[in-house]
Amino acid sequence: MGGLSKKAYQFTKLIKSSNRPSLILDGGSLLFKSNSVQNKLANQSEITAKGIIKAYNLIGYDAVGVSRRDLAAGLDFLLKIKEKSKFTWLSANIINKSNGHSLFKPTISRNIGDIKVGVVGLTNQLPANSKLLDKDTEIKPWRDALPAIINELTRDHDFIILLTSLSAGECRKIAEVYPGINLIIHAKDSDVGQLPINLTETTTMVGTGKKGKYIGMMDIKWYPGSTWQAANHELLTTKRRERDRLNRQLALLKDRPGRNNYQKVQSRLITIENTIEKMELAREPSAKNAALKSSYKNRFIAMGKSMPDHAAVLEVVKETKRLINRLNSKPTITAQNSTLTNKGFTGWQTCRKCHSDQANNWQKSRHASSFQTLIKKNQQFNSDCLPCHVTRFDKRDPATAIGMPSDLQMVGCENCHGPGASHSANPISHKTTPVTAKTCLNCHIPDHDESFNFVRDLKKLNCIL
């Protein structure tokens, strides 16, 4: 959540400088790093999630889509969090089975200037065996949940936005069936946003990356009843290409004996002809503004370490980190890792016995004091920080980094050379792991080191004498 104060600063600045009415939306996946929360980190994850909500409240979000990942700590937790949110959590397809009602608001309406905007949310499916929902709740497929809602929205709204974490493929299908949706904000699982593409004449899709590394700003000029300007009509073009391909295939099959494929190709061709026809019909804009073209400008702004912070949000981030450190400093949590046993690590003191020159150089480096750095920041128990600031590096199980023995409380020899217990016992038959740029990039990622350069920074290590 470190980037939130920078994101907040940028939003405030953008909104002030554009002095036009705006909506702040998020496709979803904001609360957790993965689809399920590790038991050991349940409390820490919940503290972080609450901090994120406070920050979003301060930024002034209008609405956020509920994604499957936001359910990682269970439905009850999200429903509690919802009560603390000043923005609306949107999902049209999380349904109570017995009464058919939505557990979240399916839509919101906003007047933006003289345009009436409707926003709808759709949640992606959980795996079949998931225990995150209770027995009474289900996530309905969009084909069941959308028809009634879109019908109602199109009746009295000029512009419709869908917030969703469904796959890009699903979004394309939705655009095909519902030309009334004008913008799909798709919460992607990768870091980077995805430039807008016009799926159809009336539907554009834009992808927002995870972890808030970018903020996206779309400046939209919309004439109700019009179509997007200079649309590349991606869907229609691919469908037409597919039709041409099937036609050629069909022609070939005609001239050949044993044409058992003929029927299959023919029926696919019929389906695709129907889709194209529907899409071409949908292209006929409604009477008003039919000749006008609407347009947008899109911008992604990357959040960097050197950007200014929003003061109040920064305070929320700091308070959250303080709470986490206090939580994880409990002896019950720190005791579990405090022995130097598993995974073949031995600690730098053992290496020093045979490689004193390297050890002396290393001791002067910042790697050697990386844990002291966390102590100074009062973050020495935070599993969001520890994996890169201690020796036993395990990103998949960050809780193991809490309360480690003092010989591993640093970026030590074994971060780069691999676990070295067996090498230390028998250096000739057990070689260490070769060091590559990838080794460094486990930690020196842009979020934490904007200017890492392997060749240049390697020289600073002084390990090769």
416 binds ligand HEC (CB under 6 A): yes
Q: Which of 108, 348, 381, 409 binds ligand HEC (CB under 6 A)?
A: 348
Nearest CA-CA partner of 40 in 399, 416, 441, 440:
399
213 binds ligand HEC (CB under 6 A): no
CA dist 77 and 294 (Å) reads: 41
Residue type, 35: N
420 binds ligand HEC (CB under 6 A): yes
191 binds ligand HEC (CB under 6 A): no
Measured from the CB atom, is 228 or 348 closer to ligand HEC?
348
259 binds ligand HEC (CB under 6 A): no
Residue nearest to ligand HEC (CB): 420
Of residues 350-409, which lie at the interface with ligand HEC (CB under 6 A)? Answer: 350-351, 353-355, 358-359, 362, 366-367, 369-370, 373-374, 377, 379, 382, 384-385, 387-389, 393
Provide the minimum distance between the beta carbon of 374 and ligand HEC in the complex, in angstroms, as a whole number: 6
List, as one string, the DSSP characters of 205-220: EEEE-GGG-EEEEEEE
Residue type, 47: I
Provide the minimum distance between the beta carbon of 55 and ligand HEC in the complex, in angstroms, as a whole number: 15
Provide the minimum distance between the beta carbon of 420 and ligand HEC in the complex, in angstroms, as a whole number: 2
Listed in sequence order, the residues at least 6 apart from 437 whose beta carbon sits closer than 8 Å to its beta carbon are 454
Q: Is 365 left (phi over 0), alpha (psi -120 to 50) or beta?
A: beta
428 binds ligand HEC (CB under 6 A): yes
215 binds ligand HEC (CB under 6 A): no
Of residues 86-115, which lie at the interface with ligand HEC (CB under 6 A)? Answer: none
CA angle 238, 169, 234 (to 5 degrees): 30
Measured from the CB atom, is 172 or 444 closer to ligand HEC?
444
Interface segment toward ligand HEC; rule CB under 6 A; list 64-72, 82-90, 260-268, 437-445: 437-445
Q: Give the number of other CB atoms < 10 A from CB of residue 117.
A: 23
Tokens at 388, concatenated: 């890169």
Nearest CA-CA partner of 383 in 87, 41, 28:
41
The helix-helix angle for 142-156 and 168-177 (nearest 10°) equals 50
455 binds ligand HEC (CB under 6 A): no
458 binds ligand HEC (CB under 6 A): yes
200 alpha carbon, distance to own chain's centre: 25
Q: Which of 208, 346, 383, 400 binds ligand HEC (CB under 6 A)?
A: 346
Provide the minimum distance between the beta carbon of 6 and ligand HEC in the complex, in angstroms, as a whole number: 14
Provide the minimum distance between the beta carbon of 330 and ligand HEC in the complex, in angstroms, as a whole number: 19
CA dist 172 and 222 (Å) reads: 21
CA dist 385 and 383 (Å) reads: 5
Measured from the CB atom, is 218 or 463 closer to ligand HEC?
463
Provide the minimum distance between the beta carbon of 332 and ligand HEC in the complex, in angstroms, as a whole number: 22
Interface segment toward ligand HEC; rule CB under 6 A; list 8-16, 125-133, 236-244, 432-440: 432-440
Q: Mark out the alpha helices in 345-459 (DSSP H runs).
A: 348-352, 356-363, 370-376, 386-389, 413-417, 421-425, 437-441, 454-459
CA dist 413 and 345 (Å) reads: 10
Counting Cβ atoms within 10 Å, is residue 247 exposed (0-12), middle (13-18) or buried (19+)? middle
Q: Which of 38, 192, 461, 462 binds ligand HEC (CB under 6 A)?
A: 461
Measured from the CB atom, is 267 or 436 closer to ligand HEC?
436
440 binds ligand HEC (CB under 6 A): yes
In contact, 269 and 251? CB cutoff 8 Å: no
In contact, 175 and 184? CB cutoff 8 Å: yes
448 binds ligand HEC (CB under 6 A): yes
Measured from the CB atom, is 195 or 445 closer to ligand HEC?
445
Measured from the CB atom, is 330 or 431 closer to ligand HEC?
431
Q: What are the C-alpha distances in Å from 37 to residues 4, 325, 384?
A: 21, 18, 14
What does the binding site for ligand HEC look like in residue numbers (CB under 6 A)?
346, 348, 350-351, 353-355, 358-359, 362, 366-367, 369-370, 373-374, 377, 379, 382, 384-385, 387-389, 393, 411-417, 420, 423-424, 427-428, 431-432, 434-435, 439-440, 442-445, 448-449, 457-458, 460-461, 463-465
